[in-house]
Amino acid sequence: MASVSSTTNKLSSSVQPPGRMRVLKERSGPSEDGPVVYWMFRDQRIRDNWALIHAVDEANRAGVPVAVAFNLFDQFLGAKARQLGFMLRGLKQLQLDLQESLQIPFFLFQGEAEETIPDFLRECGASLLVTDFSPLRKVQRCKEEICKRVSDLVTIHEVDAHNVVPTWVASEKLEYGARTIRGKINKMLPECLIDFPTLQPPSRKWAATSRLIDWDDLIADVLRKGAEVPEIEWCEPGEKAAMEVLMGSKNGFLTKRLKGYSADRNNPLKPRGLSGLSPYLHFGQISSQRCALEARRVRKLFPQAVDTFLEELIVRRELADNFCFYQHHYDSLQGAWGWARKTLMDHASDEREHIYTREQLEKAKTADPLWNASQLEMVYYGKMHGFMRQCHIASNISVMKMLMYWAKKILEWTRGPEEALEISIYLNDKYEIDGRDPSGYVGCMWSICGIHDQGWRERPIFGKIRYMNYAGCKRKFDVDGYISYVKRLVGEIKKRKSESLLSQKAKELRSS
């Protein structure tokens, strides 16, 4: 295992498939009958959540009550209004539904989880803490600290509720690429890609009621503090909205848009050509297992589209978790393979045609109108089209991954690979609604450091890292059309923003 070295893998006797849960800490004192607490972090949903299912199941078997706790970190990898607003609006709905449908209380804490969670466990006398799984360093370290801080009477279970095949089950080591992990994942699918059991309200109710949470005040606060990157309008938060995007009757991906997925996903002029699920998957407002189950049900209609989607959703996404879990340096040059580090450093001082500062890049002030458009799409729209981040060419045997223009250009225009990686991750995490995700770190590492890729013909600056240029994009899609599309998009967003500011000012004047 990656970071909690004393962990043992234990088969759970509960309703979940074997290996989905691992024991981070076993109580050493006598068996206690305190309540179960589920510290929800990455899987922010009620439906199809193996961690919640496990927590309720354990509570029912011990005849004790169960609660959900959530910690809002003071600062989580630079998240701004865009990401925090989306998350809190989703959690606001979740609290209501949790209380109404399952009568499970929801407790919200603010600060550092390594303090708030042990404090809460002490306060309610809990015997079992259940957590969901994230491979990110900050979360893994936080769990190590919680393991040290809780009393000997508390057991801690971690459940991978995010991946179809739990990361530690899919592979016990850092995988080289999709081709080395694909077979391992596919072998586990019959056991892991199964229907979820129905979640019933726990048999024993929590005695005290949950504390009142002033959601509107909390949301206003994060919007004010993170105003530099405002919320987006096109993506409604929450579990219901997520299911609507997956299979709603209006514009659901599987119900209405699947047919064009294989072709339209490579067309940056068709942002709806992709599933649009990544914000929901990132915040855990939808389960990837649910997406895969529903996609499989319609496979006979569009087999190629479904196979492509499942490759992205399961193999590529879970490969990213594998990388971050087993490679602690998942966001720095240290995390690259030796050959890639060497070739990048051999070419680090090669002459560059342009050198831009982080500020120039952030403001899209480069000499390349295509790159500027993609950067502006990310800054204003909150999600760059997949093609701009990664291009796919369908071949008769596989979907071949190509370079990512946006990130590759940053390598070309900065003083070396370390700076390029730092800036691309900074921009991606700051503006993308689905940023601060293993898929984002791997996307940047793939583009700049050749992770999950192979060596290519050596050339200046890039060395043996795969190269892509403007001419390559021009051959694949209507570059001018894309630039005009982004110009229009940004113009509309700016106009709506100034209209809403005006109406807010008018409202304030009327009420003063």
Pairing label, strands 8-9, 21-25: antiparallel
Among 278, 287, 322, 343, binds ligand FAD (CB under 6 A): 278
Among 135, 238, 435, 463, binds ligand FAD (CB under 6 A): 435
Q: Is 118 one of the binding residues for ligand FAD (CB under 6 A)? A: no
Return the number of the residue (237 or 443) whose C-beta is nearest ligand FAD. 443
What number of helices (H) and strands (E) belong to the chain? 22, 9
Query: What does 305-349 look like in DSSP terms, one character per residue?
Result: HHHHHHIIIIIIHHHHHHHHHH-TTTTSGGGS-HHHHHHHHHTTT
In sequence order, what are the beta bridge partners of 25?
Answer: 156
Taking the complex as a whole, the smallest distance from the CB of residue 427 to ligand FAD amounts, in Å, to 10
Among 42, 82, 157, 265, binds ligand FAD (CB under 6 A): 265
Is the CB of residue 171 less than 8 Å from the CB of residue 322?
Answer: yes
Taking the complex as a whole, the smallest distance from the CB of residue 397 to ligand FAD amounts, in Å, to 18
Cα 425 to Cα 11, 233, 270: the distances in Å are: 37, 24, 25
b/e map of 243-262 (b: 16 or more CB within 10 Å)? bbbbbbeeebbbeebbeebb
φ, ψ dihedrals at 323, nearest 5°: -60, -50
Q: Is 274 one of the binding residues for ligand FAD (CB under 6 A)? A: yes
Return the number of the residue (14 or 424) whose C-beta is nearest ligand FAD. 424
Pick out residues in 401-420 that bind ligand FAD (CB under 6 A): 404, 407
DSSP conformation class of 64? -
Q: CA nearest 157: which of 261, 42, 7?
A: 7
Pairing label, strands 392-394, 399-401: antiparallel
Pick out residues in 225-244 that bind ligand FAD (CB under 6 A): none
Which positions ≥6 away from 67 have C-beta within 8 Å?
Answer: 35, 36, 37, 38, 104, 105, 106, 107, 124, 206, 210
* Separation of alpha carbons 28 and 158, rounded Å: 18
φ, ψ dihedrals at 392, nearest 5°: -125, 140
Is the CB of residue 390 less than 8 Å from the CB of residue 426?
Answer: no
Q: Is 432 one of the binding residues for ligand FAD (CB under 6 A)? A: yes
Q: Which stretch binds ligand FAD (CB under 6 A): 23-31, 116-124, 278-286, 495-503?
A: 278-286
Return the number of the residue (54 or 452) whose C-beta is nearest ligand FAD. 452
Return the number of the residue (116 or 308) whose C-beta is nearest ligand FAD. 308
Q: Is 175 one of the binding residues for ligand FAD (CB under 6 A)? A: no
Return the number of the residue (11 or 400) whose C-beta is nearest ligand FAD. 400
> What six digits make up the tokens of 264?
């339209």
Q: Is 281 one of the binding residues for ligand FAD (CB under 6 A)? A: yes
Q: Site map for ligand FAD, 296-315, x if CB under 6 A?
A: ----------------xx--
Taking the complex as a whole, the smallest distance from the CB of residue 432 to ligand FAD amounts, in Å, to 4
Q: Is 447 one of the binding residues for ligand FAD (CB under 6 A)? A: yes
Q: Site map for ligand FAD, 313-342, x if CB under 6 A?
A: x--xx--x----------------------
Q: Which residues here bind ligand FAD, judged by CB under 6 A?
A: 265, 274-278, 281-282, 312-313, 316-317, 320, 386, 389-390, 404, 407, 428, 432, 434-435, 437, 439-440, 443-444, 446-447
